[in-house]
Amino acid sequence: MDQRRNVYFYETRRKNVSEKVTELKKLAERYDFTVVDRSDQANIIVSVGGDGTFLQAVRKSGFREDCLYVGISIFNDLNMYCDFHASDTESLIELMSKAELEVRRYPVLQISVDQNAVFHCLNEFSIKSSIIKTMEMDVYIDDLHFEMFRGDGMIIATPTGSTAYNKSVNGAVVDPLLPCMQVSELASLNNKRYRTLGSSFILSGDRTLTLKMLKGSNNYPIMGLDNEAMSIQHIEEIKISLSEKRIKTVKLKDNSFWHKVKRSFL
């Protein structure tokens, strides 16, 4: 690794990990890294836990583009965002001693709500009815009114998020080298009055998806930014597009996204 040697550790809230994290910090210091206690002082942000912890590490540190994120898995090795395992000291030492690192850049979603608040997502943006009633919204692709959706909700996933929530609603797994977003439905109503595409669709990173809540309809959606709930009520319009931002993570050799997909699911 080069001159950027300030490292911040973000650890899972699960129990009995502090000993392991202390060990990792000591190891980093032995290799001339400075462990800092605020993420904004760091050039390297290390998440210790699972994928959920990695998502939180990125969110809590503000989706920084000027630092490297490193995912260290602590429980199992079936993690999409973790290239390293806490007990694999050999790989960690190799990582810390290297001058040149392989870096991957992951696309991120940008969500704007009623033309002001802007949020980011690494896995997906989800919108669901929070009451036992369907929700209705008009769906636009750029300026085109595409469909009127009525159902439980929708998931808009990044390529890396395609193996998460998106996959469990039969969406396709997408190569993160493709800057795009995938739109999937949650239990849409389809009859002579309401019609939606019915399958997931993948939009180019140059497009914008707009969701307009239908006036007078169920105005109690619950929204999710990865693993965090967003609490804004009475929303009229949500615009979703690909951000200019990319999240940089350190890559282990011979460990492409597809190696991980194979390892996790096959």
Q: Provide the residue type at 230 as one letter.
A: M
Smallest Cα–Cα separation from 125: which of 206, 80, 184?
A: 184
Taking the C-alpha atoms of residue 42 and residue 131, their distance in angstroms, rounded to an integer, is: 42
Q: Could you confirm whether 51 is annotated as catalytic?
A: yes
Q: Does 170 bind ligand NAP (CB under 6 A)?
A: no
Q: At its nearest, how many Å lie between ligand NAP and the CB of residue 143?
A: 29
Q: Does 168 bind ligand NAP (CB under 6 A)?
A: yes
Strands 221-225 and 228-230, how do they pair? antiparallel
Residue closer to ligand NAP, measured from CB, 124 or 147: 124
Query: Applying CB under 6 A, which of residues 43, 47, 129, 160 lies at the interface with ligand NAP?
Result: 160
Taking the C-alpha atoms of residue 151 and residue 184, their distance in angstroms, rounded to an integer, is: 12
Question: Helix, strand, or coil here: 200?
Answer: coil
Query: Applying CB under 6 A, which of residues 8, 165, 176, 250 lies at the interface with ligand NAP?
Result: 165
Residue closer to ligand NAP, measured from CB, 101 or 222: 222
Between the CA of residue 109 and those of 128, 142, 182, what are the distances in Å?
18, 16, 11
Q: Which of 2, 37, 51, 66 is flagged as catalytic?
A: 51
Ranges within 205-264 binding ligand NAP (CB under 6 A): 226-227
Q: Tokens standing for 214?
A: 């239908």
Phi and psi at residue 255, in whole multiples of 5°? Answer: -140, 60
Instruction: With beta carbons less than 8 A apart as the criterion, state whether 152 and 128 touch.
Output: yes
Binding residue numbers: 51-52, 123-124, 150, 152, 163-168, 187
Ranges within 58-97 binding ligand NAP (CB under 6 A): 79-80
Strands 102-113 and 237-251, how do they pair? antiparallel
Ranges within 46-65 binding Mn ion (CB under 5 A): 52
Binding residue numbers for NAD(+): 51-52, 123-124, 150, 152, 163-168, 187
Q: In the complex, which residues of this chain contact Mn ion (CB under 5 A)? A: 52
**Contacts to ligand NAP by CB under 6 A:** 50-52, 55, 79-80, 123-124, 160-161, 163-165, 168, 226-227
Give the residue numbers marked as catalytic.
51
